[in-house]
């Protein structure tokens, strides 16, 4: 026969002093774990959320980021007239040859400079990226030294407000608008006219090509044709796949979350063990009584395991909620996180995300801590000799 759950529940409440500190300890461990996973998730989500599944991006073979890629004009011409590329009303192929430059700009409210990405984009490139919309001001005029920066970036750099200016090369660029990239990697970029960008930086080569096949079925065929052409030496990929792979930056944070999760949970397991052992020791007589009443060893083990896991899960729920509150606070305050993207060498802006599945993971994690911590005390409780237990004070 199993012991009623009420017994465990009441025990946890009666011994509140030692349980509170255990619960708080576990809550903090879970909160740290969930928050760090949330950071890694934020970076991954930013890249996973970028691009249009109908587009193909082309960069130089071997380059790790668009900013380090070079595509010559001959290559552009060859790709442009491949069969199967969509054409617009004017009959032109929908191919956007773009330039991605790294520009260092002064940080807002802090000393020093950080790198940011400046993309020279064509009207067709803007058509191909419907997820980027203007939210303030106006788009740049072709042939003018004007840029439109991501709204999220504007809070991180000096002179990125509308009407502000920043230096790129020997020229100053005027910020005329802000766009919103709906949480994509474009939220870390500033856009300007492609030809103007090439003129400022005196660049003959492009960085990447973006195009859309006329027929979605022709996608893999077009990719295959570009990839297999030895003369081109270009890498073609679906735009969404390309960005989804740019996740190197999230890797160290994930490792950190994993390492801290493991190390802190070891500490938490010992703390839980301590509490449960003390709980068993102070209930020796009670356990003896239960045994005399006919409760089996197994049900006593189960009872203590449930108690330990329950205790830890209270901590887990608390910790997950704490992480969620931090997340809500950050969203309400509109705080963006930025870190160096190891692939493009420019600052990437992201928002960390605490999603329900991460919170559930946190609670499950706490249950595992509680289970591991109460296993040995539970076994000890079940093995207490009945007569001695009854006699003990």
Partner 1 sequence: MTLASFVIKNALRNRRRALLTVISVAVSCGLLVTLLTLERELTIPPESEAASLRIIARNKVSLAQPLPAKQLAVIDKIPGVVAVSPFTFFGGNFREETVTSFAQFAVDPARFKGLMVEGRIAEGSYDDFVADRTSCFVGADTMKRYGLKIGDRMRFSGTFYPVDPDLKIAAVFQGTVDDRGVFFHHKLLDELMGNPGTVGTWYMRVASAETSNDVIARVNAAFANTSAEVRAETERAFQMGFISMLGNVKLLIGSVSTVVVFTLMLVTVSTMSMAVRERFRELAVLKALGFRRRELFSFILAESFGLALAGGMLGIFGAWAIWTGIDLQKLTKGFLLYFEVTPRIMATGGVVAALLGIVASISPSIAMARISVVQGLKTLD
Overall residue count recorded for the chain in this entry: 393
* Residue among 106 and 137 whose Cβ is closer to partner 1: 106
Candidate list 214, 260, 368, 390; residue touching partner 1; CB under 8 A: 260
Stretch that binds partner 1, among 88-96, 146-154, 211-219, 261-269 (CB under 8 A): 261-269
Q: Is 39 in the site for partner 1 (CB under 8 A)?
A: yes
Other C-beta atoms closer than 10 Å to the C-beta of 72 total 14
Rounded Cα gap, residues 93 and 82, in angstroms = 9
Q: Is 131 in the site for partner 1 (CB under 8 A)?
A: no
H helix and E strand count, the chain: 13, 12
Specify burial of residue 281 (Cβ count, 10 A radius: 0-12, 13-18, 19+): middle
Candidate list 78, 80, 104, 284; residue touching partner 1; CB under 8 A: 104
Q: Is 13 in the site for partner 1 (CB under 8 A)?
A: no
Candidate list 5, 14, 135, 263; residue touching partner 1; CB under 8 A: 263
* Residue among 219 and 313 whose Cβ is closer to partner 1: 313
Q: Is 274 in the site for partner 1 (CB under 8 A)?
A: yes
Q: Is 32 in the site for partner 1 (CB under 8 A)?
A: yes
Nearest to 178 by CA among 142, 143, 133: 133
* Residue among 94 and 149 whose Cβ is closer to partner 1: 149
- Rounded to a whole number of angstroms, the minimum distance from the CB of residue 263 to partner 1 is 5
- H/E element, 341: none
Per the CB < 8 A criterion, the answer to whether 161 and 110 are in contact is no
Rounded Cα gap, residues 177 and 160, in angstroms = 9
Q: Is 89 in the site for partner 1 (CB under 8 A)?
A: no
- Rounded to a whole number of angstroms, the minimum distance from the CB of residue 175 to partner 1 is 17
Q: Is 114 in the site for partner 1 (CB under 8 A)?
A: yes
Per the CB < 8 A criterion, the answer to whether 369 and 29 are in contact is yes
Rounded Cα gap, residues 265 and 246, in angstroms = 30
**Residue 355: both structure tokens together:** 């999603």
Rounded Cα gap, residues 197 and 121, in angstroms = 9
Stretch that binds partner 1, among 1-9, 216-224, 255-263, 353-361 (CB under 8 A): 255-263
Q: Is 163 in the site for partner 1 (CB under 8 A)?
A: no
**Residue 39: both structure tokens together:** 């950071």
Number of residues that bind partner 1 (CB under 8 A): 61
Cα 351 from chain centroid?
8
Per the CB < 8 A criterion, the answer to whether 310 and 12 are in contact is yes
Write out the residues near partner 1 by the rule CB under 8 A: 17-18, 21-22, 24-25, 28-29, 31-32, 36, 39, 60, 62-64, 67-68, 70, 101-104, 107, 110, 112-115, 167-170, 201-202, 233, 248, 252, 256, 260, 263-264, 266-268, 270-271, 273-275, 277-278, 281-282, 337-340, 345, 347, 393
């Amino acid at each position: 026969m199993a012991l009623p759950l009420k017994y465990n529940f009441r025990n946890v409440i009666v011994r509140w002093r030692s349980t509170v500190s255990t619960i708080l300890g576990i809550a903090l461990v879970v909160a740290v774990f969930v928050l760090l996973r949330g950071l890694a998730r934020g970076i991954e989500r930013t890249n996973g959320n970028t691009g249009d599944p109908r587009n193909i991006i082309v960069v130089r073979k071997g380059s790790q980021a668009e900013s380090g890629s070079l595509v010559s004009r001959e290559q552009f011409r060859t790709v442009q007239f491949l069969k199967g590329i969509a054409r617009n009303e004017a009959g032109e192929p929908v191919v956007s040859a773009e330039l991605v430059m790294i520009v260092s700009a002064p940080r807002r409210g802090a000393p020093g400079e950080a790198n940011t990405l400046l993309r020279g984009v064509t009207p067709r490139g803007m058509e191909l990226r419907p997820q980027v919309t203007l939210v303030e001001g106006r788009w740049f005029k072709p042939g003018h030294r004007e840029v439109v920066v991501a709204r999220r970036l504007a809070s991180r750099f000096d002179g990125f407000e509308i009407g502000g200016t920043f230096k790129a090369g020997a020229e100053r660029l005027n910020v005329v608008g802000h766009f919103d990239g709906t949480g994509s990697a474009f939220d870390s970029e500033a856009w300007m006219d492609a030809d103007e960008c090439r003129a400022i930086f005196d660049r003959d080569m492009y960085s990447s090509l973006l195009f859309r096949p006329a027929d979605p079925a022709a996608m893999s065929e077009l990719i295959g044709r570009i990839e297999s052409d030895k003369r081109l030496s270009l890498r073609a990929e679906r735009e969404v796949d390309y960005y989804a792979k740019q996740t190197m930056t999230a890797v160290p944070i994930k490792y950190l979350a994993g390492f801290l999760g493991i190390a802190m949970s070891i500490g938490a397991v010992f703390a839980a063990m301590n509490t449960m052992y003390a709980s068993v020791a102070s209930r020796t007589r009670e356990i003896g009584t239960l045994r005399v009443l006919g409760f089996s060893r197994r049900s006593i083990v189960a009872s203590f395991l449930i108690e330990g896991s329950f205790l830890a899960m209270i901590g887990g729920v608390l910790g997950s909620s704490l992480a969620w509150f931090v997340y809500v606070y950050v969203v309400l305050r509109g705080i963006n996180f930025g870190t160096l993207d190891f692939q493009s060498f420019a600052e990437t802006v992201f928002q960390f995300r605490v999603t329900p599945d991460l919170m559930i993971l946190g609670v499950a994690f706490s249950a595992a801590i509680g289970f591991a911590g109460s296993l040995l005390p539970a076994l000890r409780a079940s093995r207490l000799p009945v007569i001695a237990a009854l006699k003990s004070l």
